[in-house]
Each structure stands twice: as C-alpha cells, then as structure tokens.
Amino acid sequence: MKLLSVSAKFALFLVLLCGIGYPVLMTGVAQVLFPIPANGSLIVKNGVPVASSLIGQNFTRKDEFHPRPSATPGPDGNGSVPYDAAFSSPSNLGPTTKSYLSGVKQAVDQYRSENHLSSGETVPDDAVTASGSGLDPDIGLDNAMYQVRRIAAERKIPKETLKRLVRETATPPQFGFLGPWRVNVVKLNLALDLLSATAIRPHGG
C-alpha cells in the first residue's frame, strides 16, 4: 500500500512538473526571446495574417508558382483538401501500388503540358510527389525554373526577370551545406505579386 501511495504522489508531482510547469515556463521564455517563431512565423500584410512562412498554401492559378502535390485529407480524415494545415498527412502510398503510379503519371502529364516541357526534359521528382506533411512550403529550383515559362507567358513578364526573382527568393543550404537549395512558394508568390504591381507602374505611378 505504501508503494501505491508513493506512486500516486510521484505521478501527480510529474504531471505538475513535466506536464504543466515545464511547457508553461518554456512558453514564457520563448514568447519573450523569440516572439515571431513562437507564434507560428506569420506573414502579415496590411494588418492581416496571410500565411505562415513555414506552411505551404495551395496556389492553383495559372499565373502563380504551384507548390508540390499535397495529400492532406479533409477535417474528418477522409477525402482530399490540399494544404489543410489542420490535418497534416503524407499519401502513405508505396512504390509498387498501382493507384500511386497512376496518380504520379497524371501529375507528370499535367506538369508537362502546363509548363511546355519538351520530350527530352525530365520532370523534377518533387513536382509530382506528395510531401511528408502535405504542407511542404518549398519546391526545388529546377521545378521553379520550369514553371517560369508558364508564368512569364501569363503575366507578360520577361523570363529572365522571373528567373532572377526565383534566385533572389531561393533559400541556400543552411551554413552552406545543410539541406538542398530550395525556394519557398509562399514567399515567391508574394514577391511575384509585388513584382507585377511595380512592373505595371514602372516609375512609382
């Protein structure tokens, strides 16, 4: 009996210390030291939070950069609501599953025709595969450069200007060697809108 009462005290004490004290204390310190990341790295435009710089969004218009395919389900865990940040999920499909292969084939065909790829050009692997979270904010540089063709035609902006925009927005490997080169689609599309706005009014209107 003594063992049980000690164990009960032990469990309650740890709920207070590790379950409440520790996370609440860390919240206080983090909110003071790093308030922006601690609250979700929000991008605010005209006082309205429009995005998190870490979470991808489902851009589908022809004149925007498209993110990777996303397998996030609807709120009840079924169906498909791409880039639903309230339910992260990968596709969970394996490389010998027919439905997976046909899905990739469809994405490949769509990507080729949308971006006018020649038959000799390979489709970047990240453009036709769903990410692990379904919320990947980034795409590879090859993927972005292929999409420049479509967007240049849609927005009537020179390709070279758009390529420069991609390179300027791109994220290099951290410390020069950690992770690949990549570009954040949310930031890229916001920068693209800004570029279009200034292109229409070249001398500040």
Partner 1 sequence: MTYHSISQMIVFFLVAGLSAPLVGRYLAWIYEGKDTAVERGTYRYLGIDPDSEMTWKTYGQTLLASNALCFLIGFMVLWFQGSLPFNPRHLPSLSAPVAFNTAASFVTNTNWQAYAGEAQLSNLSQMISITFLMFVGAATGFSALMAILRGFVRSRGATVGNFWKDFFRFLYRAFLPACALMALILVEQGVPQTLKEIRTLHPVDGGTQTLVLGPVAALESVKNLGTNGGGFYNANAAHPFENPTPLANMIEMFGMLTFTFSLPFLFGRLLKRSRQALAFFAVIWILYAGGYGLMQYSEQSIAPAIASMGVGSPVSEAMTPGNMEGKETRFGITQTSLFSNTTIAATTGAVDAAMDSLNPIGIGVALFHMFLNEEPGGKGVGFAGFLKEAVLAIFLAGLMVGRTPEFLGKKIEPREVKLAMLSSLVTPVLVLGLTGLALLLPAGKAGIDNPGPHGFSEVLYGYASGNANNGSAMGGLAASSPFYAVSIGIEMLFGRYLPLLPLLALAGSLVRKPIHPRTAGTFETDGFLFVVLMLGFMVVVTALTFLPAMTLGPIVEHMFMRTGGAF
Beta carbon nearer to partner 1, 139 or 151: 139
Selected range binding partner 1 among 33-41, 154-162, 195-203, rule: CB under 8 A:
33-41
Q: Which residue has the tokens 């758009």?
A: 162
Contacts with partner 1: how many residues (CB under 8 A)? 106
Q: Which of residues 137-196 bind partner 1 (CB under 8 A)?
A: 137-143, 171, 173-175, 177-182, 189-190, 193
Instruction: Locate 57 and state its tokens.
Output: 């969004």
User: CA–CA separation, 28 vs 160, rounded Å?
Assistant: 47
**Cβ neighbours around 90 below 10 Å, total:** 14
**Contact track, partner 1, 66-85, x by CB under 8 A:** --x------x-x-----xxx
Q: Is 200 in the site for partner 1 (CB under 8 A)?
A: no
Residue type, 12: L
Beta carbon nearer to partner 1, 135 or 157: 135
Q: Which of residues 37-66 bind partner 1 (CB under 8 A)?
A: 37-42, 45, 48-52, 54-57, 59, 61, 64
Q: How far is the CB of 36 from partner 1 (least distance, A)?
A: 9
Q: Is 26 in the site for partner 1 (CB under 8 A)?
A: yes
User: CA–CA separation, 160 vs 200, rounded Å?
Assistant: 17
Q: How far is the CB of 119 from partner 1 (least distance, A)?
A: 8
User: CA–CA separation, 193 vs 175, rounded Å?
Assistant: 30
Helix (H), strand (E) at residue 166:
helix 159-169
User: CA–CA separation, 125 vs 163, rounded Å?
Assistant: 20
Q: Is 198 in the site for partner 1 (CB under 8 A)?
A: no
**Cβ atoms of residues 53 and 187 within 8 Å:** yes
Q: Is 114 in the site for partner 1 (CB under 8 A)?
A: no
Which one of 124, 148, 166, 169 is in contact with partner 1 (CB under 8 A)?
A: 124
Of 125, 128, 133, 142, nearest to 182 by C-alpha is 142
Q: How far is the CB of 159 from partner 1 (least distance, A)?
A: 18
User: CA–CA separation, 167 vs 13, rounded Å?
Assistant: 53
**Cβ atoms of residues 140 and 66 within 8 Å:** no
Q: How far is the CB of 170 from partner 1 (least distance, A)?
A: 9
Q: How far is the CB of 199 from partner 1 (least distance, A)?
A: 17
